[in-house]
Structure 1
Amino acid sequence: MEFTIRNAQPADAELLHQLGRMTYSAHFKHMWVSEAEMDEFIDKEYGLAELNSSLVAPNERWLIAETDKPIGFAKVTWNTPVPDSGMTGALLNKLYLNPQETGKNYGRRMFESIIHEAREKQEGYLWLEVMGANARARKFYEAFGMQHIKDIPFITASQQSIVQILGMVI
């Protein structure tokens, strides 16, 4: 099956809204104590107003992964400070696939394309945040050479989690 990665356009806001809700919930629902808080988080991250603004921001890039249908997406913010480090680089905000499409090397191909574009833009560094409880994602990124930089808290009204910042020179 053919796999493609394309740049998202403003007309893709509704698609990203739907993909965001579906993939985030499928991958992370079990990590949330409060479903209402998770829904609020998803609405903030994937609300149409936020997406419409982000899709036209000059320092942000959204990608859509497709086979015969859209199966995932990624978001990168260029030239972003790494917290408490004095460094800047490309921030991989999101890289999510439909759960039925994981394990097919699509995530690897998306990540490699992001690394390639970040190198072309001479970012010099690539970093991301991953939930501490998400061992599978951390293992995925570490296989590319990403290293743990620091832990930061993620706090909601009903829970506190650890987010790990990983990064690598590119």
Structure 2
Amino acid sequence: MNVEYRLADGTDAQALAELGASTFMHTFGHLYETSDVEAFLQNHSPENWDRELNDPAFEVRVAESGGKLVGYAKLGPPHLPFEPRGEAAELRQLYVVEEMKGRGIAQSLMDWVIDRARDQRADYLYLSVFTENHRARRFYEKYGFEPEGTYAFMVGNHADEDIVMRLKL
């Protein structure tokens, strides 16, 4: 299947909300109580996406195949509970639907994120990843991301341990 990439715009809010929620549920939904997942998924509402897509502090690149979104990466200002070093940017989310994993989509999106962070003159790129998401951690480590520390990532009322990672640009 052919994959095309482009910047997201306001017309993508609903599709991004659905992709974010379904990908999170497929990967992590089994770990949480229903009420915790429902509370967390408010972060993926079309209204939140619309707000971020219209905020110049955020950039979102989408991957499409067959007219359907199959992945995205969101770059924005740092918001994790830590003091960033120097000028910083943050990979807020990188999601690829399960059936499209292993086709180079995540790599293409990550390459774009790194290039855009450099274009923004960031010294460091930060992200957070669930400690038990070993596949994602290996992916980020291949790019040279290093652990910075941990924090409690909230899914509703449930606290998970996430690792903050940084990449010197």
| TM-score of the aligned structures, taking structure 2 as reference length | 0.91
2:44 pairs with 1:49 = no
Could you tell me how far 1:67 is from its partner in structure 2? Answer: 2.1
Counterparts in 2 of 1:122 and 1:18: CA distance versus 1, 3 Å: same
Could you tell me how far 1:158 is from its partner in structure 2? Answer: 5.2
Q: In angstroms, what is the RMSD of aligned CA positions?
A: 1.7
Aligned to 2:10: 10
Q: Tell me how far apart the structure 2 counterparts of residues 157 and 77 of structure 1 sit (CA, whole Å).
A: 23
Aligned to 2:162: 163
Aligned length: 167
Q: Tell me how far apart the structure 1 counterparts of residues 107 and 120 of structure 2 sit (CA, whole Å).
A: 20
Could you tell me how far 1:157 is from its partner in structure 2? Answer: 6.4
Q: Tell me how far apart the structure 1 counterparts of residues 85 and 123 of structure 2 sit (CA, whole Å).
A: 13
2:44 pairs with 1:65 = no
Aligned to 1:31: 31
Please list, as runs of the form range in 1=range in 2, the aligned pairs for 1:73-92 lying within 5 A after superposition.
73-78=72-77, 80=78, 83-92=82-91
Q: Tell me how far apart the structure 1 counterparts of residues 60 and 135 of structure 2 sit (CA, whole Å).
A: 23
Question: Do the aligned residues in 2 keep the contact of 1:81 with 1:89 (CA within 8 Å)?
Answer: no
Residues 68-98 of structure 1: CA distance to partner in whole angstroms, max 9, x if unpaired?
A: 23101111104x2661344441100000011
Question: Do the aligned residues in 2 keep the contact of 1:81 with 1:88 (CA within 8 Å)?
Answer: no
Q: Tell me how far apart the structure 1 counterparts of residues 148 and 46 of structure 2 sit (CA, whole Å).
A: 32
Flag structure 1 segments of 5+ consecutive residues without an equivalent: none
Question: Do the aligned residues in 2 keep the contact of 1:81 with 1:87 (CA within 8 Å)?
Answer: no
Q: Tell me how far apart the structure 2 counterparts of residues 15 and 81 of structure 1 sit (CA, whole Å).
A: 24
Flag structure 2 segments of 5+ consecutive residues without an equivalent: none
| TM-score of the aligned structures, taking structure 1 as reference length | 0.90
Identity, % of aligned pairs?
25
Matched residue of 2:147: which SS?
Answer: strand
Question: Do the aligned residues in 1 keep the contact of 2:36 with 2:155 (CA within 8 Å)?
Answer: yes
The worse-fitting range, judged by mean Cα deviation, of 68-77 and 155-164 is 155-164
Indicate the structure whose relative CO is greater, using CA pairs within 8 Å and at least 6 residues apart: 2
Aligned to 1:114: 113
2:157 pairs with 1:136 = no
Matched residue of 1:25: which SS?
Answer: helix
Counterparts in 2 of 1:155 and 1:42: CA distance versus 1, 3 Å: closer
Q: Tell me how far apart the structure 2 counterparts of residues 92 and 121 of structure 1 sit (CA, whole Å).
A: 13
Counterparts in 2 of 1:46 and 1:156: CA distance versus 1, 3 Å: closer
